[in-house]
Amino acid sequence: MKKHDMKFLAGHRARRLRQSDWIRELVRETRLGAHDLIYPLFLREGNGVREPIDGMPGIHRLSIDMAVEEARRAHDLGIPLLALFQQTPEEKLTPDGAEALNGDNLTCRALRAIRMAVPGIGLMADVALDVFTDHGHDGVLQDGKVLNDETVDILVQQALHLATAGCDVVAPSDMMDGRVGAIRRALEGHGHTQVMIMSYAAKYASCLYGPFREAVGSLGRLKGDKRTYQMDPANAREALRQVQQDISEGADMVMVKPGMAYLDVIRQVRDRFDVPLTAYQVSGEYAMLRLGADQGLWDIESAMLESLTGLKRAGCDGILTYFALEAARVLA
């Protein structure tokens, strides 16, 4: 075909808007910044400890003093929110997760230390029992089954301890029925009216949590699986019901977890609900991108930014990601 025979609708050539950096920047539809990122920190006991996590290259368990330093770095780069997860010492693990109700546990001490040292950064902590139980489940067990209402009673008390310690956002990740409403009523009743709830509204029973469970020490002790309370990966309409329920119970923000494998769910939630929406780029998704880069299959910076931009494009307001500090540096 001769050049002059090519037909373009109204003279349109899409490549005109792709021909240089400045025009691509000007017409870019989705913008990713440090302000979109939530940075998870893994805590462990000790002092001056920065312990590598085998399944998550580049990520460490941090003693509280090291976590404070990391919080300063995050704040300086413009990251607005940290998410704290603790590795509970073996001797403090119990069937009922009693350490979750210790107002001086590792997470509560870290909340107070970071709040004092870096007052301008937001602090979030999970409300769940999996890092405190000797069986690795998010609630208490009876005859091998996770009890819903008995677990919710404990989660309410855990949330109050976190709020008292200075937590800005409590994040119920347990997937018990009714826990958002119970936590909201308790927070209001105890004067914690400004504490936000970010609900893990659509948390799937995914195989991609393995490196996280290694990081917090629950991988080897988990008995059975979590499919009776976490969502079936085959379901999307159910996620919309879960989100609706948690919003009606008082959630300020909702989350879809994992992120990259559930972009369709993120999009459906975004289209239907007008509340802040986050996604969790989980440990397995992070590890896959890292390991592929280590094998020379792709450039890690490009893969990192493409994956985060995809989550943002799907409809996320915020992204909880282990790449947060690295991405913030690149985006700066």
Q: Which residues are catalytic?
A: 203, 257
CB 155 within 8 A of CB 174: yes
Quickly count: other Cβ atoms within 10 Å of residue 190's Cβ: 14
Strand, helix or coil for residue 279: strand
Helix (H) or strand (E) holding 286: helix 283-294
What's the token pair of residue 169? 């956002």
DSSP 60: E
Strand, helix or coil for residue 218: coil
What's the token pair of residue 71? 């919080």
Residues contacting residue 328 through CB under 8 Å, at least 6 positions apart = 34, 37, 74, 77, 78, 79
- Torsion angle defined by CA atoms of residues 18, 22, 27 and 31, in that order, rounded to the nearest 10 degrees: 110
CA dist 236 and 219 (Å) reads 27
Phi–psi pair at 141, nearest 5 degrees: -105, 145
The residue with tokens 């090519």 is 6
What's the token pair of residue 230? 């976490």
